[in-house]
Structure 1
Amino acid sequence: MFFDSLPGLLRVAVISLLAYAAMVLVLRIAGKRALAKLNAFDLVVTVALGSTLATVLLSKDVALAEGMLAFAALALLQWLLSRLSIASARFRKLVRAEPRLLLEDGVYCRSAMAKERVTADEVDAAIRSAGFGCIEAVAAVVLETDGSMSVVARAQNEELTALRSVQR
């Protein structure tokens, strides 16, 4: 069967349009940070927003106003969390991961890799993805707070200031 009823299809079409417009409005008010994947909490909010949208669109048990309230609540909580993180170093350490050095000057940081559950093969893959064929051309590989790996090229006689906040 392709659909249950014409009114059901019409409901999904109308609710989709309204929910999408409301979600865009909430995200514009919340700012760019609302969909950033800077840390685990940002990812959770992004997934929760998608799940909420799907529920509003497809469940007859959830009214549009309830879904929009959920969108607004998630955006507000995300905003509050980021504000508290900026205001308090102690709170920031509680809710945010720190970037971690996985490779430095051609040497794997095995203890950091073990703590982060990352293998040498995964570090090598990140190096290859960055366009490097040999580890000697790489100054560092950093596991970022969003789970991605950054590869820093070796530079001649330059201090690697971008690594100052990386946990060693």
Structure 2
Amino acid sequence: MLWVVGLVRINGLRSLSKMTNFDFIMTVAMGSLVAGAAQATKWSTVAQVAAAMAGLFLFQHVVARLRKNSDAFETAIQNEPILLMKNGEICEKALEITRVARSDLIAKLREANVLDFAKVQAVVLETTGDVSVLHGDDLDPVLIQNIRDKTGD
């Protein structure tokens, strides 16, 4: 565990975040490696796991740099978020494309304390699988930039 803490300190706060689908996969892989190290009976196995962890962190660091510096790379590895709801209207086509059940969307609206569909400006299925519910009186257009909008189809 100290090795993981050290790697996180070196690599930075985003190491085990869930900001992108790649970060999520990294977090799951690290959990698997920690479990493997905990069950290891030989020091050589622990060393292999430690090297794999360091390799994952290095790979994550390289990918993050490439994403930051290359729009083409970003587009190639990152899914686009998609609007599930816009201006109080559910986008049935987006639900179908993303395989999100209407009941799951309604549950997310309840979690976000939505009391009135008309106040929902947008619901976004993020690249990580999280659902963002934007509700209130006004929506800054910047918040929905670079999001696939299937409400017009």
Q: Assess same fold via TM > 0.5.
A: yes
How many residues are treated as equivalent by the alignment?
A: 148
Alignment of 1:4-153 (within 5 A): 20-61=1-42, 62-153=44-135
Pairing 1:164–2:145 present: yes
Deviation at 1:159, TM superposition (A): 4.1
Q: CA RMSD in A?
A: 1.5
Q: After TM superposition, give the deviation of residue 134 of structure 1 in Å.
A: 2.1
Percent identity (aligned): 32
* CA displacement, residues 81-129 of structure 1 (integer Å, 9 cap, x when unaligned): 1111111111111111111111011211122221111122211111111
Give the structure-1-normalised TM-score.
0.81
User: Which consecutive residues of structure 2, in runs of 5 or more, have no partner in the other structure?
Assistant: none
Pairwise CA distance, 1:150: 0.8
TM-score, normalized by length of structure 2? 0.89
Higher relative contact order (CA 8 A, sep 6+): 2
Label 1:56 to 1:107 Cα distance change in 2 as closer, same or farther (>3 A).
same
Which of structures 1 and 2 has the bigger CA Rg? 1
Gaps of 5+ in 1: 1-19
